[in-house]
């Protein structure tokens, strides 16, 4: 069999590259990437002509592919040169190597380790090395789909159907899982970011936008990697029923200049705020309303009325100061992406068995802050809040942590809430006609740590509750990193909720599934 000519795709014909070559947002490195791609194109055209009649010659190597070791979740860089340019994955051992020319690392690996089948991690095309010819076989389609999943509108519509929880998928080990409800690997201390990722990827408009995306423009690397992670989580053909967010979180670390790191425990609320704004910018969003899917989904408007507290001038020198309230009321309207709610202070006393008394409050009592009547004092001002416009999805943040001069305190108060049918009509000014003020819970992020009122970041556990389906098929799942378990509805409100995402009902007359837990509102 004649050997086809294989062009080198490295910059030095005598030695593979040893320096890390990165493509940054300014475009630096694009020339190298383009040259490497062009050289691959030359290889491909020549090889296809040479082997047009010998496709069957690749069959003996396809048997060496080991799907059990393939993991496309990690950053796609060469395991030797650490370059992300022109990277191939070995389908025998799962390692990544740069190039496929004679002086490339993939070429050397194929000779020294006798591993011959490689996939281009960008184009998903498969080649046999060291011969260099392409392989086109239907049996490889599942590998290409795991590497780069794609979705149709019809497939996505089933994710929101009432019967979706009955549509189980199976991995290579024949383990059942429900697409979209799979565990995320806690690589070091990234569980606080995992719960935010899981929550956002169950917001229907954002999920559908990401699953249908085929980015080729000016979108940021953060947005591209978040879309890639979304497609893996909702993939019904996974080789293993779990996903690692490593590739996305590496970009988070870079884009945030080290503010959010894999090895450091953090605050999910801070990460949520940062991620919402950076995804908005990555989509080309501006300050204008509805300029991105993030704003059209989560942005509302809040009216704030402010009155100044004045010291009365008629008070004598030896008298206690007396205060008046300025009659002038200043009103401003500002946009918001989530609403923060305060919790009542925890009790200072303990019960007979020396255990802290954990109070409970209803969600309506803490939302009263936004009824336009409740007054709050801050920095010499009295303030009242009320929503002017409610978004399709409302994010609530329960403020459990406060800092003083010595420690960061935790408020263990339990908030009770319905899973469906939370009415926000008392917290919005004259909602538009035909617009429902009834919301159903989509995601609930909870915090667990040692007992007491002092925050202990080292022993913190973050969990998220997610809804699947509706009606008689409705289920709730608790996800803690790689642990995915179905949970009883009555147990959900018992945790220390930090973040909740509520979805507006399309039809206000639809009361949803009737559940006894609705009485907890």
Q: Measuring CA to CA, how many Å separate 106 from each of 60, 133, 414, 428, 437?
A: 19, 14, 56, 61, 58
The mean per-residue pLDDT over the stretch 195-216 comes to 95
- Checking if the pLDDT of 514 tops 90, the result is no
- Checking if the pLDDT of 278 tops 60, the result is yes
- Checking if the pLDDT of 111 tops 50, the result is yes
Look at residue 199 in the predicted model and tell me its pLDDT.
97
- Checking if the pLDDT of 45 tops 50, the result is no
The mean per-residue pLDDT over the stretch 198-204 comes to 97
For 465, the token pair is: 């509750």
165-178 residue pLDDT tens: 998 999 999 999 99
pLDDT band at 266 (very low <50, low <70, confident <90, very high): confident
Of 498, 503, 478, the C-alpha closest to 488 is: 478
- Checking if the pLDDT of 38 tops 50, the result is no
Name the percent of the chain lying above pLDDT 70: 78
- Checking if the pLDDT of 236 tops 50, the result is yes
Look at residue 57 in the predicted model and tell me its pLDDT.
45
Asked if 337 contacts 298 with a C-beta cutoff of 8 angstroms, the reply is yes
297-321 residue pLDDT tens: 999 999 999 888 776 666 556 655 5
Helix (H) or strand (E) holding 423, with range, is: strand 422-423
H helix count then E strand count, the chain: 12, 26
Look at residue 104 in the predicted model and tell me its pLDDT.
93
Strand-strand pairing, 393-399 and 381-389: unpaired
The mean per-residue pLDDT over the stretch 477-499 comes to 94
DSSP 102: T
346-378 residue pLDDT tens: 766 655 555 656 789 999 999 999 999 988 887
Query: Global pTM?
Result: 0.82
The mean per-residue pLDDT over the stretch 473-489 comes to 95
Look at residue 411 in the predicted model and tell me its pLDDT.
87
Q: At what angle do helices 204-211 and 221-233 cross, to 10 degrees?
A: 100
415-472 residue pLDDT tens: 999 999 999 999 998 766 678 899 999 999 998 876 555 566 667 889 999 999 998 9
- Checking if the pLDDT of 50 tops 80, the result is no
Asked if 300 contacts 310 with a C-beta cutoff of 8 angstroms, the reply is no
DSSP 202: T
Q: Measuring CA to CA, how many Å separate 499 from each of 444, 465, 491, 496?
A: 6, 11, 17, 10
Q: Which residue has the tokens 């795709």?
A: 9
CB neighbours of 245 closer than 8 A, spacing ≥ 6? 73, 184, 185, 187, 190, 193, 194, 197, 229
DSSP 493: G
The mean per-residue pLDDT over the stretch 116-128 comes to 93
CA–CA distance, 217 with 339 (Å, rounded to integer): 33
Which domains does the chain possess?
67-146 (3.30.40.10), 149-268 (3.90.70.10), 287-312+324-348+356-504 (3.90.70.10)
Instruction: Report the chain's mean pLDDT, rounded to a whole number.
Output: 82
CA–CA distance, 165 with 473 (Å, rounded to integer): 7
- Checking if the pLDDT of 508 tops 60, the result is no
Highest mean pLDDT among 8-12, 218-222, 345-349: 218-222
DSSP 57: G
371-422 residue pLDDT tens: 999 888 877 788 999 999 999 999 999 998 887 777 778 888 999 999 999 9
409 vs 22, more confident: 409
Neighbours of 299 (CB within 10 A): 22
**Torsion angle of the four alpha carbons 372, 373, 376, 379, in this order, in degrees rounded to the nearest 10:** 70
CA–CA distance, 72 with 327 (Å, rounded to integer): 63
Highest mean pLDDT among 17-31, 202-216, 404-418, 496-510: 202-216
Of 410, 415, 333, 310, the C-alpha closest to 368 is: 415
Look at residue 214 in the predicted model and tell me its pLDDT.
87
The mean per-residue pLDDT over the stretch 80-106 comes to 93
Look at residue 264 in the predicted model and tell me its pLDDT.
84
CB neighbours of 390 closer than 8 A, spacing ≥ 6? 300, 424, 428, 431, 435, 437, 504
Mapping DSSP onto H, E and C, the string for 144-196 reads HHHHCCCCCHHHHHHHCCCCHHHCCEECCCCCEECCCCCEECCCCCCHHHHHH
168 vs 14, more confident: 168
């Amino acid at each position: 069999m004649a050997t086809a000519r294989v062009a080198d795709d490295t910059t030095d014909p005598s030695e593979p590259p040893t320096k890390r070559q990165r493509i940054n947002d300014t475009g630096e490195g694009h020339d190298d990437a383009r040259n490497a791609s062009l050289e691959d194109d030359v290889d491909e055209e020549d090889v296809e002509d040479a082997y047009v009649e010998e496709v069957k010659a690749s069959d003996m190597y396809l048997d060496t592919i080991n799907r059990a070791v393939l993991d496309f979740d990690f950053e796609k860089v060469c395991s030797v040169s650490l370059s992300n340019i022109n990277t191939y994955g070995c389908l025998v051992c799962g390692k990544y190597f740069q190039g496929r020319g004679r002086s490339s690392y993939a070429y050397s690996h194929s000779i020294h380790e006798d591993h011959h089948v490689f996939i281009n991690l960008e184009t998903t095309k498969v080649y046999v090395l060291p011969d260099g010819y392409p392989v086109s076989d239907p049996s490889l389609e599942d590998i290409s789909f795991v590497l780069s999943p794609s979705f149709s509108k019809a497939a996505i519509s089933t994710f929101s159907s009432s019967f979706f929880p009955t549509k189980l998928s199976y991995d290579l080990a024949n383990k059942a899982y429900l697409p979209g409800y799979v565990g995320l690997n806690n690589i070091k201390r990234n569980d606080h970011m995992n719960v935010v990722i899981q929550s956002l990827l169950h917001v229907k408009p954002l999920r559908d936008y990401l699953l249908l995306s085929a980015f080729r423009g000016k979108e940021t690397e953060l947005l591209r990697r978040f879309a890639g992670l979304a497609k893996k989580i909702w993939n019904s053909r996974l080789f293993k029923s779990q996903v690692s967010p490593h590739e996305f979180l590496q970009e988070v670390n870079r884009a945030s200049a080290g503010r959010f790191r894999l090895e450091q425990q953090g605050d999910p609320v801070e990460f949520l705020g940062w991620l919402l704004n950076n995804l908005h910018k990555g989509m080309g969003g501006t300050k204008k309303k509805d300029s991105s899917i993030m704003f059209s989904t989560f942005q509302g408007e809040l009216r704030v009325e402010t009155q100044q507290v004045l010291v009365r001038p008629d008070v004598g020198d030896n008298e206690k100061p007396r205060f008046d309230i300025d009659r002038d009321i200043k009103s401003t309207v500002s946009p918001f992406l989530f609403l923060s709610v305060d919790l009542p202070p925890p009790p200072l006393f303990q019960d007979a068995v020396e255990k802290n008394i954990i109070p409970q409050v209803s969600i309506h009592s803490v939302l009263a802050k936004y009824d336009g009547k409740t007054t709050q004092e801050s920095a010499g001002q009295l303030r009242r809040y009320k929503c002017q416009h409610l978004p399709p999805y409302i994010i609530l943040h329960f403020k459990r942590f406060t800092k003083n001069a010595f420690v960061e305190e935790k408020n263990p108060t339990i908030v009770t809430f319905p899973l469906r049918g939370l009415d926000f009509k008392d917290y919005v000014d004259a909602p538009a006609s035909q617009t429902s003020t009834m919301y159903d819970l989509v995601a609930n992020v909870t915090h667990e740590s040692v007992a007491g009122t002092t925050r202990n970041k080292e022993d913190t556990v973050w969990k998220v509750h997610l809804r699947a389906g509706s009606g008689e098929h409705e289920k709730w799942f608790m996800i803690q990193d790689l642990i995915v378990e179905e949970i009883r509805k009555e147990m959900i409100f018992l945790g220390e909720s930090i973040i909740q995402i509520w979805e507006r009902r399309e039809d206000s007359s639809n009361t949803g599934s009737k559940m006894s837990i609705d009485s907890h509102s």
